[in-house]
Structure 1
Amino acid sequence: MMLNFQKKKEIVAEIHNTTKKALSIVLADLRDIKVNEITKLRALSRTIGVKIHVFKNTLTKLGIKNTQFECLKKILIGPMLIGYSIDHPRNAARLFREFSENNVNFKIVGAVFEKKILAAYDINTLADIPTYNEVLQRLIITIKEATLGPLMRILMSIAQNKK
């Protein structure tokens, strides 16, 4: 389908607006992926706050101009599926990593986080960033363990003294 100039401008504006809201971006190669699998991925992405786009690379390059993701131009080659993490930086990385485990042909090309390009093998560092709630849960568990240990030792010594 041919796009007229006005439609291309709208697409570039949409990419630019999405990129400004995004916390991180993950790129994946689309070759040899079936449409129904991409549809499932899109459905999953909507539930966790990830926007997924497939646009021409030239339009994407224009859309990311003057944003923190401008360094993406270096790795935009071939048909790409772009995942924008809106809620938390790790969401797109985790979604793509889990999807690639079930689909052999789905290959993660790279990611951008805090103006740095992460290679495909570094995607786990981005995907394993804990959320605020996970950090709080770990802190609460640590505090519980730290206070229960001495309390148990005191109770054990009291029980031994009474014997």
Structure 2
Amino acid sequence: MALNQEDKKKIIQKINKISNLALSVVIVEFKKISVNTINKLRKEAFNNNVFINITRNTLLKLAFQNTEFECLNAVLQGSILIAFSMKHPGTAVRILKKYEELSNNNFKIIHASFEGKLLSKEEIIQLALMPTYEESIMRFMFTIQEASIGKFVRILHAIYHQKKIVAI
């Protein structure tokens, strides 16, 4: 369906507004993906505060002007799906990585941007592995728990061995 000038302006404004609020952007190349798969992806993304869009590259280039994702303009080519992480920078990559593993090279993460920088493949993986706030708190609590309880157990173990040696 052909878009008139007014519709194109609305799309550009919407994506520009989202890109100004987003923490990171992931670009996926897709081919022969079923509508059901895309709908599942959109639902999961929506539940995780990730905005997904399939838009013409020329409209994306216009929408990215004067945003931190302007670095993506050089790599916007072909049939792409774009995902904006709104709450945590790694959420979009995590979700898309699952779908990439399920498809047979029909769904491939090709680029990402975080803090105004175009990321390499290794950096995209690091972004996916970045812990969320809740995960960070859980790790910290586990570390504190392990340090305090672990030390207590080691002290008890040392006392036990000391008494065992004295008893012999």
Question: Counterparts of 2:19 and 2:133 in 1: how far apart (Å)?
Answer: 23
- Please say if 1:139 is aligned against 2:126: no
Residue identity over aligned pairs, in percent, reads 42
Question: Counterparts of 1:121 and 1:157 in 2: how far apart (Å)?
Answer: 45
Instruction: State the partner residue of 2:25.
Output: 25
What secondary structure sits across from 1:87 in the alignment?
coil
Question: Counterparts of 1:157 and 1:126 in 2: how far apart (Å)?
Answer: 43
Q: How large is the Cα RMSD of the aligned pairs?
A: 1.5
Write the letter of the residue equivalent to 1:119.
S
- Please say if 1:153 is aligned against 2:120: no
Segments of 5+ residues of structure 1 without an aligned counterpart are: none
Question: Counterparts of 1:71 and 1:114 in 2: how far apart (Å)?
Answer: 10
- Please say if 1:100 is aligned against 2:100: yes
Provide TM-score, normalisation by structure 2.
Answer: 0.91
Question: Counterparts of 1:22 and 1:9 in 2: how far apart (Å)?
Answer: 20
Provide TM-score, normalisation by structure 1.
Answer: 0.94
Segments of 5+ residues of structure 2 without an aligned counterpart are: none
Instruction: Give 1:121 shift.
Output: 5.0
Write the letter of the residue equivalent to 1:133.
E
Instruction: State the partner residue of 1:5.
Output: 5
Instruction: State the partner residue of 2:110.
Output: 109
Number of residue pairs the alignment of both structures matches: 163
Question: Counterparts of 1:159 and 1:29 in 2: how far apart (Å)?
Answer: 62
Aligned CA distance change for structure 1 residues 112 and 148 (closer, same or farther; 3 Å): same
Q: Deviations over 1:10-66 (max 9, x none)?
A: 010001011011000000012222222111111111111100001111111111100
Task: Flag the structure with larger Rg.
Answer: 2
